[in-house]
Amino acid sequence: MALSEEARQAERERVARLVLDLVKERGTEISHAVALTESGLSRSRFEQLFPDYDDLFDAVAAIWFTPHMEVMEQVLGTDLPPTRKMYEFFRRRFVISYDRFRGDPENFALLCEMGAANFERVRSYVDLADHYLCEIIVEAQADGFFAGLEIDEALSLINQMVSNYTLPDALIYLGDKLSEDKLARIVDTIFIGLSGETGSQARGVNTIRVAS
């Protein structure tokens, strides 16, 4: 019997959560075949839900990224000024990742490895985050910030400045060196100094001299 779309999505989520539990329990990535065995479903029903590993990974990734998507959409829906909105846009996602890291560093690292190995499967989440950030950049430019920069250029620069707070792997290497207070200072600095006119002096430094 064919599943309704609602039942299909519920069963996909159940199996995906099971896979996440198995990854944590066994300390290794779970294959399509193992997920089939552990799911308690017939092969035909399982393959109806997940035709291949990529589809299974997509369902697992959706569980991982949904909290991030929800907080980004919540922030975009506020009437906060651009500076605070951008800070919250990054801070709330960072808090989710930080809590996951502190809760189980080894499992967190393994899930990061899985994401890196399947990056093309998670690219859509990265692209959506960039789209949302562009909306905040447009609001900021309307208030006079980021003068002289195209939206895509501002997007690239900002992403590079805050990458330690958006790339989960950074927590593995930097851990407690990352903090909400430091993120706030970075965002403040972005709004104070980022424009199309900055950087010319830095590019003009072509000699080294000893400070006297």
Q: What is the pLDDT of residue 199?
A: 54
Residue 73: partners with Cβ closer than 8 Å, 6 or more residues away: 132
Q: What is the pLDDT of residue 197?
A: 74
Q: For residue 77, which phi and psi values (nearest 5 degrees)?
A: -80, -5
pLDDT class for 63, splitting at 50, 70, 90? very high
Task: Supply the DSSP string of 150-179, one letter for each residue.
Answer: -HHHHHHHHHHHTHHHH-THHHHHHGGG--
Kindly list the distances between the CA atom of residue 205 and the CA atoms of 160, 188, 193, 212, in Å, as whole numbers in the listed order: 22, 25, 19, 17
Q: What is the pLDDT of residue 4?
A: 79
Q: What is the pLDDT of residue 36?
A: 95
> Does 130 share its domain with 42?
no
Q: What is the pLDDT of residue 203?
A: 55
Segment 136-163 shows an average pLDDT of 96
pLDDT class for 33, splitting at 50, 70, 90? very high
By C-alpha distance, which of 131, 134, 106, 10 is closest to 62? 10
Please tell me the pTM assigned to this model. Answer: 0.87
Q: Which domain holds residue 138?
A: 63-195
Q: What is the pLDDT of residue 134?
A: 98
Q: What is the mean pLDDT of the chain?
A: 91
Q: What is the pLDDT of residue 6?
A: 86
Asked whether residue 36 is assigned to any structural domain, the reply reads yes
CATH number of 181's domain:
1.10.357.10
Number of domains in the chain: 2
Which residue matches tokens 């552990």? 38
Residue 139: partners with Cβ closer than 8 Å, 6 or more residues away: 82, 85
